[in-house]
Amino acid sequence: MNHLAGVIINGVGIVVGTLLGLLWGSRLHSGFREQAMRLIGLVVLLIGLKTAWPLTDPVNTLLSLVIGGWIGWLVKIDWRLERFGYWAEARVNRTGFSKGFMAATLIFNVGPMAILGALQEGLTNHYSILATKAVLDGTTALLLSTAAGWGVVAAAIPTVLYEGTLTLLAGDLHKLLQGALMQDATVVGGLVIAGIGVNFLLDRTVFKIGDLLPSLVVAVVLGWLKLYGLSFL
C-alpha cells in the first residue's frame, strides 16, 4: 500500500513557510517586498534553465511548447486558473490572493522534483525527494508570501492533490516516464519554470504559464512517437 507521508510533509512545509512569511512580511518595507519578488524571479529562472540543460532534443522541446501552448489556449487553462483565483479572492475578501495562488501553485508543481518524488514514494515508500522539496517549497513560500500575499498558502491544496495522485499511480507512471521520455518532459518543465521566473522579473505576464502546462504531456507523447520510429521528431 502506498504511503503519502512525503506528500503531507511537502504540504505542511508550504503552509509553515507561508505563515512565517506573512508574520515576517508585514514588517518589511513595500520596496523590499517588490525586490524580493524580482529576486525570486531570478532564482526561479536559474532553476528552470538549470533543469532544462542540457537541451538534448530542441525540435521535440519546441514542438511540445508550441502544441501544448496551443492546447492550453484552446482550453483556456490560464484564464480558468486566474478566474478561480479571483473567485477565491472575492470569497475571502482579500486582495492579492489570485497572484500568490497561481504563482505558488505553478512553482511548486511544474518541475521534475514533484514527479520524481511522488514516483519514489509510490514505488519504494521512501520520501527523501519530497522531504527535500518540502524544505525548498517552504523557503520559497516564505519569500513569495512576503511579496505576493497570503494566497500562497492555498497552493498547498493542489500540490498535495497532484503529488498524492502521482504517488498512487506511481506503478503505471513509472513504466511510461523513464529514460528519454522523462528527460524530454524534464526539459520542457524546466523551460516552463523559467517562464515563471521571467514573469516575476518583469512583473508582468509575458508567458501564460497555465496554458503551457499541456506541454509536459505533449513532450511525453512526442517522445513516445519518436521512440517508436518517427525519426523526424
Close Cβ partners of 112 (under 8 Å, ≥ 6 residues apart) = 51, 182, 185, 186, 189, 190
Consecutive 10-residue averages of pLDDT for the chain (233 residues)? 82 93 72 73 83 85 95 91 70 64 82 76 83 86 78 90 89 67 81 85 85 89 78 47
CA distances from 112 to 16, 48, 70, 163, 220 (A): 23, 10, 22, 11, 13
The confidence score (pLDDT) of residue 112 equals 67
pLDDT for 11: 95
Question: What nine digits make up the cell of 147?
Answer: 511579496
pLDDT at 193: 80
**Residue 232, pLDDT score:** 46
Per-residue pLDDT at 37:
72
pLDDT at residue number 96: 63
Overall size of the chain counted in residues: 233
- The answer to whether 185 and 47 are in contact (CB under 8 A) is no
Q: Is the pTM of this model over 0.85?
A: no
3-class DSSP string for 69-98: HHHHHHHCHHHHHHHHHHHHHHHHCCCCHH
- Can you tell me the distance from the alpha carbon of 68 to that of 187, in angstroms, rounded to the nearest whole number? 14
